[in-house]
Amino acid sequence: MDRRIFLQVAAAAPLTASPADQPVYRVVSAYKPAAQPGMPGPYPGQVIRVHSENSIDTATAQVNAQQVKRMIATGMTALTGDSRAEDAWARFIKPNDVVGIKINCSGAPQIRSSPEVVGAIAESLIAVGVPAKQIYVYERFQNQLQSVDYPKYLPAGVNLHAAETSRSSILGYDPKTYVETSFFGEDDTRSNVMRLVSETLTKIVNVPNLKEHQASGVTGCLKNVAYGNYSNVARSHSFEKTNTLTFIGTLAAAEPVRSRVVLNIMDGLRGVWHAGPFSEMPRFRFFPKQLMIGTDPVAMDHMLIDVIEEKRKAEGAVSIWDRSMSHVGRDNSDPNINHFIREPGHVEYAGKLGLGVYDKERIRLKVLEL
């Protein structure tokens, strides 16, 4: 690998910005883009949505593992046009790949990448020849990862990995690959990528949840690969006006993350429509009973915004696009009050960085019922 350091500087200005300004970023990475980066990948603007009433029991939240396997197989073949799921997977993954399954456990144990979904993905990787020892199910925080019984659903030999065994530990991050910016004059201005991502993995399958997020508006494909693969990211939303608008896309577009993420499988069996991402209140959980599959995280997250907006409208709640300070406060129990001014525009911003298609007229959504 060419070890020259590539600097991507957004503007020739100091790395300091007031909360009202657009931040200035410096991206430091020795990793070149792949010939065809994973995002937006070979299927830009395409989203496959697979819905099944039998996928999860709303009374018990019990997931139908066999139905989930059928949903994933159906979605994968619909995306690629192959007749066999194995052939569809083989378009993205080769037997010599070291594959990360990037889960989301920020709302665990109630809301998380379902272990049945994660297990089915791991089995699909093994079916195309990837040895179990070359598969890593990973998350940033060990305590969140351990709150879900993933080993019960995973083939023997699959690795579990967390970047931080204790909060704010730094050894799991690459000191030479980072995005630097100062949002609010903080001391630590760098967000470093996980060592696992930069030094070990060759491909990543992104498995976000279907959730509202109090700062970014939604937490879907983009936020899971951005905030989920870097350190020191919560500093972007320390005040009511956040910097999630530009930070999420900037992190996701940096190498090697952009090239490594080759597939997104959004777990929408259950979701969160308010006070996300942690899901502390059951009243704000719901059951879309769906999976979304694609290579384009922008198009998929645009569909996620629509799902959250539709649910909030049905519940009589204010839009995630609302920017009124009268709706900003600390009462999480009121669906019309939020901690921050949400920034769902981060999805469109990521599209402008080349990560995918945001224009609704150019998104090809295929809905399948099982």
CA distances from 20 to 119, 183, 242 (A): 44, 10, 9
Write down the H helix ranges in the chain: 65-80, 85-90, 115-127, 142-146, 195, 221-226, 244-253, 257-260, 297-314, 346-352
At 146, list the tokens.
């351990």
Residue with token string 């204010």: 318
Q: What percent of the chain has pLDDT over 70?
A: 95
Domain boundaries, the chain: 46-172+193-369
Residue of 45, 143, 32, 3 whose CA lies nearest to 361: 45
Q: Residue 22: what pLDDT?
A: 83
CA-based torsion, 208, 212, 218, 223: positive or negative: negative
At 336, list the tokens.
């019309």
- Write out pLDDT tens, residues 189-206: 999 999 999 999 999 999
Q: Residue 169: what pLDDT?
A: 84
- Write out pLDDT tens, residues 116-156: 999 999 999 999 999 999 999 999 999 999 999 999 999 99
Q: Which class is domain 46-172+193-369?
A: alpha beta
With 70 as the cut, is the pLDDT of residue 14 above it?
no
**β-strand partners of 368:** 50
- In this prediction the pTM is 0.94
Of 11 and 16, the structure prediction assigns the larger pLDDT to 16
Q: Residue 321: what pLDDT?
A: 98
